[in-house]
Amino acid sequence: MDDTVETPLFKQISEQIKQGIASNQIQPGKHLPTVRQLAKSLGINPSTVSKAYLELEKEKIVISRRGGGTIVVSKVDTPLATKLRHSRLSNIVSDQVLYNLSLGFSPDEIEAEFSLHLSRWREERRERENNVQIQEQKTLDRSNTIIFVGSHDPAFHVLANKLKNRYPEMEVEINHAGSLGGLIALQEGRSHLAGIHLLDEETGEYNYPYLKHLLPGRELAVVHMAYRIQGLMVAKGNPKNIKSLKDLERDDVVIVNRQKGSGTRVLLDFELRKCGIGPSRIKGYERELDTHLAVAKSVLHGEADVGIGIQAAADTNGLNFIPLSRERYDLVIPIENYKSKLIAPILETIANPDFRAVVKNMGGYDTSQTGSTTFFP
């Protein structure tokens, strides 16, 4: 608990309990510590804990029984409970939107920030589940499911969310397998589209050389998502005074890397060779994570001093960012899928100015050519 901030202590306690419930760390039916136990462990007045529990009880998050303790309520799925729950969520979101509008932020800025933090929350929950994607077995009509395999990008999550809002019947299955993994999935017919940002060292060109080598003879549509800024993410204030890739050789600097086959890893290795830096001279080079947000979170938590990733991931985690390169992120779609009714909604969503505005406000993106399409070969 932090008694130096303006939020009352009892509200800090209730909010932490809510977060624990939302992240499944506190399960329905679990007994919370007694007022006396929690007050003693936090070194605060019992009345403060009582006030926090009372607030949670008023919101029907917990129930207190005399002699039975304070218990997290079981999940209730009745139509009335669901309606009340959605109504409460709507009111909370509405209040926050109005508050931020009153501070002078635009709707696009608010949506961009919300989307980034939602992506960050998903990444944190995913890591708590040991990086294993747990998918519930559903009897879905797979004809309405778009399967994406490729490089992680928060802008694609914004696209998927907007698609779902515009076309509620559609589903988007997102698999982060890196840029090369996305092209291999297309090659094997396991996805409808791939997201890639692969630099060819010989030509200095992005993406097209890899299509020629990995998908020879295939008719493809290459839909431009955005240009992104890649760079070094370091802790706020840059306490290790990291300025360039040369600093990665220092004994007091530990990095966190991206997985082999990701466009970001290809870029890092290319830049290291240009600087004459061997991987064996870099502490932490062998530690790999699958997404930009996971790398940013690792730096944020002090597990590494620096990681390579996009500016949007650094911004949403409050990290400092040292730009290295501007890169192209494209969606690769086999022509038969591009012309299909299944993919049409995603193309319409990309072309929408509202989508471009939100992505631009996320930071580190250039959307001036978003939606432009090239046919290959």
**Residue 134, pLDDT score:** 42
Whether the Cβ atoms of residue 123 and residue 162 lie closer than 8 Å to each other: no
As to burial, measured by CB atoms within 10 angstroms (0-12 exposed, 13-18 middle, 19+ buried), residue 196 is buried
Interaxial angle between packed helices 46-58 and 9-22, expressed in degrees from 0 to 180 and rounded to the nearest 10: 50
Alpha carbons within 13 angstroms on the beta-carbon side of residue 348 total 13
Tokens of 4: 């130096």
**pTM of structure:** 0.61
What is d(CA 183, CA 362) in angstroms, rounded to the nearest whole number?
Answer: 27
Q: Give CATH 3.40.190.290 domain extents, the chain.
A: 142-376
What is the distance between the alpha carbons of residues 209 and 202, in angstroms, rounded to a whole number? 10
Q: What count of Cα atoms within 13 Å lies in the side-chain half-sphere of residue 118?
A: 14
CA-derived radius of gyration, the chain: 23
Cα–chain center distance at 214: 28
Q: Per-residue pLDDT tens, the chain, 377 aa: give them.
A: 555 556 788 888 888 888 777 666 777 778 888 888 888 888 888 888 888 888 888 887 888 776 668 888 755 444 555 665 677 677 788 888 888 888 888 888 888 888 877 777 776 666 665 544 444 344 334 678 999 999 989 999 999 999 999 998 899 999 988 899 999 999 999 999 999 998 887 888 889 999 998 899 899 999 999 999 999 999 999 999 999 999 999 999 999 999 887 888 888 998 999 899 999 999 999 999 988 889 999 999 999 999 999 998 999 899 999 999 999 999 999 999 999 999 999 999 999 999 999 999 988 999 999 999 999 88
Q: Look at residue 328 in the predicted model and tell me its pLDDT.
A: 94
Domain boundaries 9-72, corresponding CATH code: 1.10.10.10
* Residues in the chain, total: 377
- Report the candidate in 110, 104, 179, 122 with the shortest Cα–Cα distance to residue 148: 179
Distance CA(134)–CA(3), nearest Å, equals: 38
In this structure, which topology does domain 142-376 adopt according to CATH? D-Maltodextrin-Binding Protein; domain 2 (3.40.190)
pLDDT (0 to 100) of residue 223: 97
Q: What is the pLDDT of residue 12?
A: 86
194/196 Cα distance (integer angstroms): 6
| Span(s) in the chain for CATH 1.10.10.10 | 9-72
H-type helices in 215-352, by residue range? Answer: 263-275, 292-300, 311-316, 335-338, 344-351
Under DSSP, the state recorded for 239 is T
Let me know the angle formed at the C-alpha of 120 by 24 and 168, rounded to the nearest 5 degrees: 80
Q: What b/e readout covers 27-41, taking b as 16+ CB neighbours within 10 angstroms?
A: eeeeebeebeebbee
